[in-house]
Chains A and B, each alone.
Chain A
Amino acid sequence: MTTVHERVDTFHDNDQKPVGYGRMLRKEDPRFLRGRGRYVDDVQLPGMLHLAILRSPVAHARIVSIDTSAAEASPGVKAVVTGAMLAQQNLAWMPTLSNDVQAVLATDKVRFQGQEVAFVVAEDRYAARDALELIDVEYDVLDPVIDARRALESDAPLIRDDLDGKTNNHCFDWETGDEAATEAVFARADVVVSQDLVYPRVHPAPMETCGAVADYDAVDGKLRLWSTTQAPHAHRTLYAIVAGLPEHKIQVISPDIGGGFGNKVPIYPGYVCAIVASIVTGKPVKWMEDRSENLISTGFARDYIMRGEIAATRDGRILGIRTNVLADHGAFNGTAAPVKYPAGFFGVFTGSYDIEAAYCKMTAVYTNKAPGGVAYACSFRITEAVYLVERIVDCLADELGMDPAELRLKNFIQPEQFPYTTKTGWVYDSGNYEPTMRLAMEMAGYDELRREQAEKRARDELMGIGIAFFTEAVGAGPRKDMDILGLGMADGCELRVHPTGKAVVRLSVQSQGQGHETTFAQIVAEEIGIPPSDIEVLHGDTDNTPFGLGTYGSRSTPVSGAAAALVARKVRDKARIIASGMLEVSVADLEWEKGAFHVAGDPGRSVTIQDIALRAHGAGDLPEGIEGGLEAQICYNPSNLTYPHGAYICVVDIDPGTAQVTVRRFIAVDDCGTRINPMIIEGQVHGGLTDGVGMALMEMIAFDEDGNCLGASLMDYLIPTSLEVPDWETGFTVTPSPHHPIGAKGVGESATVGSPPAIVNAVVDALKPFGVRHADMPLTPSRVWDAMRGQARPPI
């Protein structure tokens, strides 16, 4: 029951796709199934020492003194290092991905609970932990800023007194859209709806925490660093800047990674500490944080306090959308976002609708909370943007008394309007929204669900149906528009075909479970006709792969996938020339089909890609001007982002006695353009939907008024288990990207982006009999209970 549109065909007219995309079991699975994955904590080197970090117990305090003498005397301890010692080497501070600075180890003050204060290096992890207990730190506790709304008050304590001339907690302002034009459409609109929304702080909490093994060889000056990073090449460059090591002497290895979700994009102080420790001790040093450290100190997500306003005609034509955002960036601005987009891609908050005007004003502030703001499959703040627009569209539907599906259908950007420039300046590459929405409604049995709901309401049962329709911007990004710390967001790819026709492809992106070893083998196979099983995919090692910015923001397939397709075409172009020599015909007389070139009109005269590979490496003559070998490398600079879309429908039941929300059904129809491996796509969607259930119903990193993190373990920070989620119902449409070489758009974050508003909309819909128009996440039983009694309140 799917609507499949024609795929863009970028091949030569006479070129046939040789292998075909489709469901293929993963090449990487066998090692994981046997317990032979290679994660950072699995790395054991001879003589390796272990590092543990002492963290601040308070959110804001001046460090008066640190006494490490007892720790140094503890059995097995090799070194104890403080911020003061790092400062002597000019290593106490490091740049963040947002051009701010962050303390590696605190020197003057601690600015959030869990901040790194000192580290111990010892013979084993237990000895290192023991010694932490013996470090005596005297703190002069200061008032913290915990509520972002208070951060800019004149009497708020100053957090970033390390920054020259800083007199308040202001981080940045940012605006987009046309304020005056938006004001004009709001002034003439029949209906204006305004809603305050909080997207609480949540945490990606990948199953593998963050860590590193640093191995510095003083003789040859080479640093090898195994680390949990989603962006090994970008990290290498930053280490060169931070540590002053020459970049060619740094090898960053990102082996198997136990989930990332953005949490493993930033450089954390622990990585730098491990490097320093290896240099100081002359030994390999391992640092693995524990779960509590992961939750209290590493890259969080969200923490946006938003006001959304929507203007429309009485008959449901949306005219304008306006938003004001207060963003909590924690103690240091550690967001990973392109330089020109300090609020990430929040600018797509106009959603999938053809409107007349839009305006966004944002203020970001520092607070005494952990830094970050990058993470949790957020596509650079698109999660917040989609939540905002899809929630206020539902509020508008409620105000107008319209069905929320009908309101959306009435306002969609139409297929013929693509490429569509939004009122905030983004150019949506392609989209065909109505078929996607209709398919989701058909799969859900939307009308029947509404009838069921009416019957249940008559019996005082609480059932809700929630819709979200999202458009994402992924695949960052065009060199002219985007860079991170001056590094263009391009990706390289290298393909070598060996003499026997087997191939190795080297990627600049890296997998944290997305199945790159399979998907990229399929992409290359499709282009060059070598079976995926004969293509080795290498990634995650900066010494053995071309430069690129890494895996986050759903950018692997849109950027690196394009690079892989294009490098394969480059190799095929050379193969075509060699084939013309072998068959003694002109290049123009050759046709390509299923991994072989044959003479047009004479299929019997053909050479396979394997034949050509052997010739390319052999002793025989090659056409004039053609070098031996069959390999190529490229760097792909995307001309635009890609814009996947999707329609999600959630059905919830709420127990009126306990206020417990149960997600009964979830229908997800995704359009990620050309689909390479449907099995892997489905897996990506399922995972994101589960993230959505977590954020909508369970997860929140809360703080008390003193800045104590209340979500510091998996007993306090609740993540969905198998019992909180339904069996997902997925479907798809295909609207290829016109500018991507194979039409693929990326799907890694779609479901995380699209599912929270669908779930919240469903819960609010269920609570309509109580007069509820909005309730903030997380919709825990106690918060739903309050909403049922007219006491809904923001979570912060």
Chain B
Amino acid sequence: MQVTMTVNDVEVTREIEARLLLVHFLRDVLGLTGTHWGCDTSNCGTCVVWLDGEPVKSCTVLAAMAGGHQVRTVEGLAKGAELDPIQQGFMQCHGLQCGFCTPGMMMTARALLDRNPDPSETEIREAISGQICRCTGYATIVRSVRWAAVAEAQAAAQVTETTESSEAGEIDNAGQPAEAVA
């Protein structure tokens, strides 16, 4: 069957087997190997990507089900050369070791900050509780997400200061990702 979806803002159309899992479509067909395959049973979360802005475990989504939808993977997290604050936070706070769970953790964490810019430690732990990390013991992941939250709050404060001394119109178009949410 043919499937068309938008992955990291790029529309792709491919001929696939109907039973192909989204994780294998991303990895084997599109070559986006940042999304990992760890358990097949939705327990480990190394395969988390966004489907229309919501984190999903791509080992339990058929590629066909993503047809007509927006998919975002870890490869679509940075804005060009600039790392997303979540990525910076993981680096600053040693939120990764082997790196295998990291893409899924970051996708979930980014989604958390998008709906809750100032999460508590408990809220962060709950958000990532469907994902397993065997290396870090989670504390540094929690710190990484908090680092990003604080960094974004500080950046927003700076933007606000700038806004007060400039025309609002310049800011409205600045730095907003072009992704559409269906």
Contacts and interface: CB of A to CB of B under 8 A. Distances in A.
B111 interface: no
Given A207-B133, A259-B100, A687-B137, A34 B39 contact: no
A686 B129 CA distance: 17
A679 B94 contact: yes
B101 interface: yes
B33 A39 contact: yes
B136 A683 contact: yes
A291 B101 CA distance: 14
Given A291-B39, A687-B136, A207 B101 contact: yes
A686 B139 contact: yes
Interface string A676-691: 0001101101111111
A126 interface: yes
B166 to A, nearest CB: 32
A725 B122 CA distance: 12
Given A207-B36, A513-B97, A714-B43, 9 more contacts: A25-B94, A33-B78, A39-B36, A206-B98, A207-B44, A686-B139, A690-B138, A714-B44, A723-B126
17 contacts: A29-B90, A29-B96, A31-B99, A33-B90, A37-B34, A125-B24, A126-B19, A126-B20, A207-B46, A207-B98, A291-B38, A513-B135, A687-B134, A713-B40, A719-B134, A722-B131, A723-B125
B92 to A, nearest CB: 7
A207 B100 contact: yes
B19 A208 contact: no
A34 B102 CA distance: 10
Q: Which 9 A-B pairs have the closest CB atoms?
A: A35-B34, A513-B98, A258-B100, A32-B99, A686-B137, A513-B97, A714-B43, A35-B74, A690-B137
B132 A42 contact: no
Contact of A291 (B31, B32, B40): B40
Interface string A702-724: 00000000000111000101110
A261 B98 CA distance: 11
Contacts of A42: 27, 33
B87 interface: yes
A67 interface: no
A682 B55 CA distance: 30
A208 B137 contact: no
A715 B134 contact: no
Interface string A620-641: 0000000000000000000000
B114 interface: no
B70 interface: no
Interface in B119-157: 121, 124-126, 128-142
Interface string A14-37: 000000000001101111111111
B78 A713 contact: no
A558 to B, nearest CB: 19
B78 A683 contact: no
A389 B129 CA distance: 34
Interface residues of B, number: 59
Contact of B97 (A25, A683, A713): A683
B81 to A, nearest CB: 10
Contacts of A713: 39-41, 43
Contact of B100 (A37, A515, A685): A37
Nearest to A25: B91
Contacts of B125: 722-723
Contacts of A32: 96, 99, 102
B73 A35 contact: yes
B100 A208 contact: yes
Nearest to A511: B98
Interface string B21-55: 00010011001111111111101101000000000
Interface in A166-220: 204-209
A126 B63 CA distance: 14
Contacts of B124: 722
A728 interface: yes
A728 B139 contact: yes
Given A25-B91, A34-B87, A35-B35, A727 B121 contact: yes
A364 interface: no
A263 to B, nearest CB: 10
A257 interface: yes
A290 interface: yes
A691 B31 CA distance: 33
A383 to B, nearest CB: 16
A348 to B, nearest CB: 25
B9 to A, nearest CB: 15
Contacts of A41: 27, 33, 36-37
Contacts of A209: 38
B11 interface: no
Residue of A44, A261, A512, A722 with most chain B CB atoms under a 10 A cut-off: A722
A34 B94 contact: no
